[in-house]
Each structure stands twice: as C-alpha cells, then as structure tokens.
C-alpha cells in the first residue's frame, strides 16, 4: 500500500520507542564552597575525568591540573568516596545524584 493511501486512512502510528531517550546520567557536583555544577555524563566516563572536568569548572583549568590529585568525589547519599579508576556506571551513579568534591589529605 502506498504511503499516500496510508495517510488518507486517518490511522495514527505510535512507536513504542522514545526517540528522545538518552543514556546520559544527570549529575550535580557541589564544590567545597557550595557552588553547583550540573552535567549530563556518559555512563562510561571515569570518575577521575568527571572530577577533572568539575575542577576545571570551579577553578581555572591551569590550576586544576596542579591540584587534581588533592581532590576526590564523594557520593553524598552514601557518604563514600568514589574510586577514580571506576566509571560512572561501575560506581552505580544515578540521575539527580549529588556528588561533592572533597579535599583529601596526602
């Protein structure tokens, strides 16, 4: 049946898939000063990369490189530090989670 005839029948096609689906995870990173940075992160991004991006947002990128090792990301709801080598998916981070940049003593 040609498309022109299908359209004339007045039927409507509804797809079961959502064309706007996204695999990104909505996260909020909170600085020590209380500033908030919202990001839609890919589940395969490493915690270390996420931490570096957050630090570059809160402080200058040049300073960020010097101090990255002094910071960790903290999962506020569980009160636990995130492993830098793990991915967002491996750490089980979910949409609308609050993550805090914490200073570590080295």
pLDDT band per the 50, 70, 90 thresholds, residue 103: low
- Per-residue pLDDT at 105: 45
**Average pLDDT of span 32-39:** 87
- Per-residue pLDDT at 62: 86
Q: What tens digit of pLDDT does each residue of 80-90 get?
A: 899 999 999 99
Q: E strands of the chain, at which residues?
A: 25-30, 36-41, 71-75, 80-81, 97-103
Look up the pTM and report it. Answer: 0.72
**Domain regions of the chain by residue span:** 22-103
Fold that domain 22-103 belongs to in CATH: Ubiquitin-like (UB roll) (3.10.20)
């Amino acid at each position: 049946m040609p498309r022109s005839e299908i359209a004339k029948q007045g039927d409507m096609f509804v797809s079961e898939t959502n064309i706007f689906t996204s695999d990104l995870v909505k996260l909020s990173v909170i600085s020590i000063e209380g500033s908030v940075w919202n990001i839609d992160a890919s589940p395969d991004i490493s915690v270390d990369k996420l931490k570096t991006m957050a630090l570059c947002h809160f402080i200058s990128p040049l300073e960020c490189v010097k101090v990255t090792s002094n910071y960790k990301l903290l999962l506020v709801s569980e009160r636990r530090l995130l492993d830098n080598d793990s991915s967002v998916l491996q750490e089980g981070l979910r949409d609308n989670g609050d993550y805090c940049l914490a200073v570590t003593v080295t």
